[in-house]
Structure 1
Amino acid sequence: MKLQVALDVVDLPAALRLAHQVAEHVDILELGTPLVKSVGIGAVSAIKAAHPDKLVFADLKTADAGELEAAMAFEAGADLVTVMGAADDDTVRGAVAAGRKYGKEVVADMITVVEDRVARIREVAKLGVAFVEIHAGLDEQARPGYTIDTLLEDGRQAGVPFSIAGGIKTDTIAAVRDAGATVAVAGGAIYNAPNPTTAAQQLKKHAA
């Protein structure tokens, strides 16, 4: 299972600093949506230039113009880009078409509430995405009673390649691995830690 760090900061110097601190211990460097909105698509190029040996993930959360937006990210150096799993099928297909053109991959982000998440995960997987990110956003995680177990159960039921994002910590990452996830996405557990390097190292150890 790969470990992905969400660089959920809003300025490029902070993103570069965090990436430098954790790159040795992670497989994928994710530019969070706030970072891309704040800095622009050039942030992708900067992170890729600083860490050419790492997969760079542009979390665009594209909801329309899938081929255009995905192409922008791929041209900037992204290896993976997100499209909303609840978006129109043609939006997802467009992003996938761009991925094929550039030899890169598209991830369907299931952060949006849908009537039947498992059914939609299965549907969108058939549209050609590399995997589906089963994602609980910060607002959902802040609600009383939130548990990562719901995400894990949806992944097990869906039966397609998936990643998990939503409160992954050292005491939950093994369960993510055991559920069959392709990628575990950690954010706050790394960037809010007193020592992000140590936090990433520990997560990677528990993911093995």
Structure 2
Amino acid sequence: MTKLQVAIDLLTTEAALELAGKVAPYVDIIELGTPLIKAEGLSVVTAMKAAFPDKLVFADMKTADTGALEAEMAFKAGADLVTVMGTVDDATIKGAIEAAKKYDRKVVVDTIGVKDRVQRAKEVTAFGVAFVELHAGLDEQALPGYSVQTLIGEGREAKVPFSVAGGVNIDTIKDVVSAGATVAVAGGAIYGAADPAAAAKALKEAISTVTA
């Protein structure tokens, strides 16, 4: 079954832990967004893993260089998954994967900025990443004509383990699951909701009704 990942794009450890506490019963993966890690440092990763040891903690490092070093830093802090940018040199991704093997953790490749996401997804999957995040960032989502359906279609075409991030909500999540996504990533649809717990529960229930 498709896993549900909450992307926490808040800016303090306290706020992140408070939100995670509300939605943890309904999510499989807790993602600590890049702005949060930049604001609080890797201590927020450690705090989240200590608070929710049964959840996968995803450190959205968006590494662009020194793949092995940054991945190891995150894994030592308690991360189960880290991101490396898909636009970088293959050596950076492979270095992060070597660090992941050392700690028995996983690497995810983020495709923000990648021109041909389908081709790149196939390439990096061969290196041994956990899955590829077909991702439209907040800036791209704000552009006229943006649709998450583009990412969903690319996932179907790539035929590799993938997640979708960028417009996943209660109206689109069934399409994400039907496309065969390994993970559905919801950010604003959860943390921006009046009742984040109810929003996460509704998304989880929607996932369970779909057979990919």
Aligned position for 1:163: 163
- For 2:43, the aligned partner's letter is G
TM-score w.r.t. the length of structure 1 is 0.98
Partners in 2 of 1:143 and 1:39 — Cα distance? 29
Aligned position for 2:17: 16
Aligned position for 1:185: 185
Query: What are the within-5 Å matches in structure 2 for residues 1-208 of structure 1?
Result: 1-114=2-115, 116-208=116-208
Deviation at 1:113, TM superposition (A): 3.3
Partners in 1 of 2:105 and 2:36 — Cα distance? 21
Structure 1: which 4+ aligned runs deviate by more than 4 Å? none
Gaps of 5+ in 2: none
TM-score w.r.t. the length of structure 2 is 0.96
- For 1:36, the aligned partner's letter is I
| 3-state SS of paired residue (1:6) | strand
Residue-by-residue CA offset, 1:105-125 (whole Å, 9 max, x unaligned):
0000001232x2211111111
Deviation at 1:128, TM superposition (A): 1.2
Identity %: 62
Deviation at 1:101, TM superposition (A): 0.2
Deviation at 1:156, TM superposition (A): 0.8
- For 1:6, the aligned partner's letter is A
Deviation at 1:16, TM superposition (A): 0.5
- For 2:198, the aligned partner's letter is T
Residue-by-residue CA offset, 1:28-78 (whole Å, 9 max, x unaligned):
000000000000011100000000010000000000000000000000000
Partners in 2 of 1:143 and 1:200 — Cα distance? 26
Q: Aligned-pair RMSD on alpha carbons?
A: 0.6
Gaps of 5+ in 1: none
Partners in 2 of 1:194 and 1:97 — Cα distance? 41
- For 1:181, the aligned partner's letter is A
Partners in 2 of 1:196 and 1:118 — Cα distance? 32
Partners in 1 of 2:87 and 2:125 — Cα distance? 12
Q: Is the 8 A contact 2:86 2:114 kept in 1?
A: no
Residue-by-residue CA offset, 1:126-164 (whole Å, 9 max, x unaligned):
111111000010011111111111101111111110000
